[in-house]
């Protein structure tokens, strides 16, 4: 898609996929025009009867755009703000979990560590405390089983491409390779939803309207005591799928980004040294990383932003659909057209990012040595359907990345170290491996 956009078709591209016309948005200008300036028209979801059977179009990700979606989004944002999103309260929780993780990593001694796997445990424990009100010990069998199933929903390299194709060509569901992939997805989804339901049942049995601990408590409160005009949208199935969405998305995006950051450190030792020096100068080897000190770590912030640009976690994001006929950049887009925001195209646009394939954090540092945040790097999406957990993810990524490099020197576990050239492309782009040796800074 990137090559087509640059060489021939430009900002807005129409392609035929199966029996349907699909419009691809290839630049920031096109994505912004559609999803922000015309968000009310471009924020619906395509109707996918086959895959929708898995969740009934419930949850914050799949729900059609409209009043019910707006009520769910408003509720989610309100809950996260009340839990301390963007404030010290949440930062303290993340730092405390990071300290637990450091001790867990120390237990490996000189044994190589599969950081890709364990970073998923780390970020999942933050969202678990937020959504379920429960913290798991690392290695807890229930926790491990749940996370292994969840990780395969997005990160199964064997099924990812098949499911992506199946999402566009549903008639392939009866062809053996695709049918088998769909059946595995169905079983995993059913298992995760059953786990979420068990926590919901437990919360309902112990519900105290005067003591709301987590997302499920808040949702039950809204069901029973919320505003009359929105209560009808707060169904049991919606709660179950919404909780699943929070858990899966909240675990996957942050952990994959952290894995890429560590891989880029190994691929770019000169940059790694600069980051180590910044961390040592600002926090030493014992101080808790805080977002308030980000300005004192300009290269570290630039490194994180560049990693998010070069490795777009969801290259084409979730598909959108038009709820009515509209005009976009001179083109008439009919009602019901599937819209694909090509976020990877945005991040690799040579007009914005010269030599876009090159990993270069310095492109985000100005002449005064200050970090420059870019609104054209949008790993969490933009518009009405932006990721609700973006603020949480950004704090997690910064604090955990700094804390890991503050406490450990990272080294390849073998001669063939993890590389940014080796990736798994499923629903999410992640490193093929992130096996490291960790040297504790005593």
pLDDT of 157 reads: 66
Residues 312, 356: contact at Cβ < 8 Å? no
Half-sphere exposure of 438 (CA within 13 A, CB side): 25
pLDDT for the residue numbered 199: 96
pLDDT of residue 349: 95
Domains of the chain: 2-341+361-435 (1.10.630.10)
What confidence score (pLDDT) does residue 132 get? 95
**Long-range contact set of residues 36-41: C-beta below 8 Å, sequence gap at least 24:** 36/382, 36/383, 38/326, 38/328, 39/383, 39/384, 40/65, 40/323, 40/384, 41/322, 41/323, 41/324, 41/326
330 C-beta neighbours (distance < 10 Å), count: 7
DSSP codes joined into one string, 300-339 = HHHHHHHHHHHS-SSTT-S-EE-SS-EEETTEEE-TT-EE
**Three-class secondary structure of residue 37 per DSSP:** helix
| β 338-341/20-25 pair status | parallel
Report the half-sphere exposure of 80 (CA within 13 A, side-chain side).
21
* Whole-number pLDDT of residue 419: 79
Local structure of 22: helix, strand or coil: strand
State the 10-residue block means of pLDDT for the chain, 442 residues long: 54 83 94 96 83 77 92 94 81 96 95 94 95 94 92 71 74 86 88 95 97 96 85 91 89 92 96 97 93 96 98 90 95 94 95 96 97 96 92 95 97 79 79 90 84
pLDDT of residue 277: 97
CA atoms of 86 and 81, how far apart (whole Å): 8
pLDDT of residue 195: 95
- Per-residue HEC secondary structure of 155-167 comes to HCCCCHHHHHHHH
């Amino acid at each position: 898609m990137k090559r087509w956009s640059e060489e021939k078709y430009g900002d807005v591209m129409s392609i035929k996929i199966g029996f349907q016309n699909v419009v691809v948005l290839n630049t920031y200008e096109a994505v912004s025009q559609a999803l922000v300036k015309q968000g009310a028209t471009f924020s619906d979801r395509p109707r996918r009867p086959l895959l929708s059977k898995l969740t009934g179009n419930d949850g914050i990700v799949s729900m059609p755009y409209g009043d019910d979606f707006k009520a769910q989004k408003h509720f989610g944002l309100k809950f996260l703000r009340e839990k301390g999103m963007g404030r010290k309260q949440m930062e303290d929780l993340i730092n405390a979990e990071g300290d637990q993780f450091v001790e867990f990593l120390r237990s490996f001694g000189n044994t190589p560590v599969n950081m890709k796997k364990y970073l998923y445990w780390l970020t999942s424990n933050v969202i678990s405390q937020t959504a379920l009100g429960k913290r798991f010990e690392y290695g807890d069998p229930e926790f491990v089983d749940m996370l292994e199933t969840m990780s395969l929903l997005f990160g199964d390299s064997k099924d990812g491409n098949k499911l992506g194709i199946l999402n566009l060509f549903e008639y392939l569901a009866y062809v053996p390779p695709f049918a088998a992939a769909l059946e595995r997805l169905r079983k995993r989804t059913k298992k995760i939803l059953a786990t979420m339901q068990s926590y919901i049942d437990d919360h309902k049995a112990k519900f105290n309207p005067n003591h709301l601990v987590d997302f499920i408590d808040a949702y039950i409160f809204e069901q029973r005591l919320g505003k009359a005009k929105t209560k009808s949208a707060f169904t049991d199935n919606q709660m179950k799928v919404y909780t699943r969405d929070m858990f899966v998305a909240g675990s996957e995006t942050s952990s994959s980004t952290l894995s890429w950051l560590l891989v880029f450190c190994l691929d770019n030792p000169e940059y790694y040294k600069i980051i180590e020096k910044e961390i040592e100068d600002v926090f030493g080897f014992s101080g808790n990383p805080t977002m308030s000190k980000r300005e004192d770590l300009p290269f570290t912030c630039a490194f994180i932003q560049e990693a998010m640009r070069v490795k777009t976690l969801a290259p084409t994001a979730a598909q959108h659909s038009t709820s009515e006929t509209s005009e976009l950049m001179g083109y008439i887009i009919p009602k019901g057209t599937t819209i694909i925001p090509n976020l990877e195209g945005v991040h690799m646009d040579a007009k914005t990012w010269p030599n876009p394939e090159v990993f270069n954090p310095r492109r985000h540092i100005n002449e005064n040595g200050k970090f420059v945040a870019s609104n054209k790097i949008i790993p969490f999406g933009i518009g009405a359907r932006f990721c609700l957990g973006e603020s949480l993810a950004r704090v997690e990524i910064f604090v955990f990345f700094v804390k890991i490099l503050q406490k450990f020197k990272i080294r390849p576990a073998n001669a063939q170290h993890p590389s940014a050239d080796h990736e798994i492309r499923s629903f999410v782009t992640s490193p093929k491996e992130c096996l490291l040796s960790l040297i504790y800074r005593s």
